[in-house]
Structure 1
């Protein structure tokens, strides 16, 4: 007795929607119109945010080109009768802004170089050398970035007044009222961020390159100087650009640690344009524009490094 073969049941086709293929999703003008409308909305929002950030700078430029008598009479949002650069010449020459620019460079340029050297060597030790407590050390540097600067103003002020320096380094014979104080604070506060970023970047480098250097007999210094640093040039360029901008724009530390007005950086020296009984805010606006110009030029020339710095070290190795 034979068992009859069982035929496989054929799938039953169900009728799709009328006038269209079964299971096919419609993509008509409604979907494209919605996406286009959303894109226009995002662009409008970004344009509004950009204008909100640019409005103070544009208002400062507009006010700096007008006489104070005119803005005092008609307001800052009125139409001008004439525009001139007289306030720019007065702000640069009368306030001695060239000397303050030199003070800023004496702080920012060595500060960037010292910070990048110390941060790169520390990051190399944390990321590439198998040291005990390297993760704890990285967490320590990262936690330092969370400390508000204003918290330690008073302890640092007392400390710097008690740290002696020779006369050829500081005419006050202490660390207080010297550019060394501002330089030391800038390096200390920026070091943690640079170590964190460079350590994450170095972890993404191929391990085989350092292993080959070890096989060739390279020591720690050669592996750091001749192997790791050349590979970190993009990261160092991005960090250097960001660090210079941050140190240049700093306003707090110059006012706290420098009592001699001739030693102030250019951002803190803007306060010298204010009078005791009267302040010409158009003159102050011209000085602010002059101070902001170098950072704007640096951004326009090195904006690729700025953009790279936003995501630096974010890749997971």
Structure 2
């Protein structure tokens, strides 16, 4: 059953909706607006205790120059790129092949493999902190970019496989059979028939996985030490001082760290929305 359209609501409910929606939006945006204002606030105003008022002195250039030039933020950003892009590409490549196999091949144990992927998504990753950290130490992958890539690849592939398997399952099976009848190999069917049809799903999944990996802080903190392999999230946390915290610098670094995820989303917004609604209707 679908919710009643707003046009058919009673007049009093429509008025309440129109009044409450802008209020809820402002309340939701207040923390972000506070971070933006703080990022351009001068250090002198913070020393004077002006945390919430409108700044009288702006330090836009000084704050962002300090974050980008005087701190190793660009090094952290480069580490984040080295970690995120290979993780996203490899996770989607592996999961698309695994999803294709689970969706089209009725082999023995298909249900058990799918159940394993589903069960893995319900395991709280925090309880794996000690075993994963010990494993990276034993394998010599602790505090390395390769270790973080391997970790994210392992943990994201399960979710991606479940995601893509359901999309491929919704495709007309006759298209796959037609490709096989025409003499195409399984690889050709996968590349030339299945992948073009699930392109919106791949785009939506790329946005989701990119956001997960780029914004990861917990595992980056557990599996790195120092600046060699630390990503951007750890670098922003490192802007906090031992005794005092320059909140203007932390806010500026946080906004810079969030820009790639926001840019990826808006760049692929059309594909993201179509990917989420792909297969929602029939006919």
One fold, TM greater than 0.5?
yes
2-structure distance, mates of 1:306, 1:35: 34
Normalised by the size of structure 1, how large is the TM-score? 0.81
Higher gyration radius (CA): 1
Residue in 2 that maps onto 1:194: 160
Is the aligned partner of 1:76 residue 2:51?
A: yes
The answer as to whether partners of 1:177 and 1:259 remain within 8 angstroms in 2 is yes
| Compared CA separation, residues 121 and 66, structure 1 to 2 (3 A) | same
2-structure distance, mates of 1:115, 1:33: 45
| Compared CA separation, residues 237 and 176, structure 1 to 2 (3 A) | same
Instruction: Report the Cα offset of residue 33 of structure 1.
Output: 9.3
Is the aligned partner of 1:139 residue 2:105?
A: no
Instruction: Report the Cα offset of residue 307 of structure 1.
Output: 2.9
The answer as to whether partners of 1:241 and 1:302 remain within 8 angstroms in 2 is yes
Q: Please, which of 97, 100, 108 is the counterpart of residue 124 of structure 1? A: 100
Normalised by the size of structure 2, how large is the TM-score? 0.90
Instruction: Report the Cα offset of residue 134 of structure 1.
Output: 1.5
| Compared CA separation, residues 147 and 211, structure 1 to 2 (3 A) | same
Superposition pairs of residues 238-249 of structure 1, within 5 angstroms: 238-249=204-215
| Compared CA separation, residues 155 and 316, structure 1 to 2 (3 A) | farther
1-structure distance, mates of 2:278, 2:180: 27
Q: Which runs of 5 or more residues in structure 2 are unaligned?
A: 1-6
Residue in 1 that maps onto 2:4: none
Deviations 1:172-197 (CA, angstroms, capped at 9, x unpaired): xx111111111111112211221111
Residue in 1 that maps onto 2:219: 253
Instruction: Report the Cα offset of residue 154 of structure 1.
Output: 0.1
Deviations 1:261-292 (CA, angstroms, capped at 9, x unpaired): 13211111112211122211111111111111
Q: Please, which of 25, 40, 51 is the counterpart of residue 50 of structure 1? A: 25
Residue in 2 that maps onto 1:182: 148
Q: Which runs of 5 or more residues in structure 1 are unaligned?
A: 1-31, 164-173
Farther off after superposition, 214-223 or 176-185 = 214-223
Superposition pairs of residues 273-288 of structure 1, within 5 angstroms: 273-288=239-254
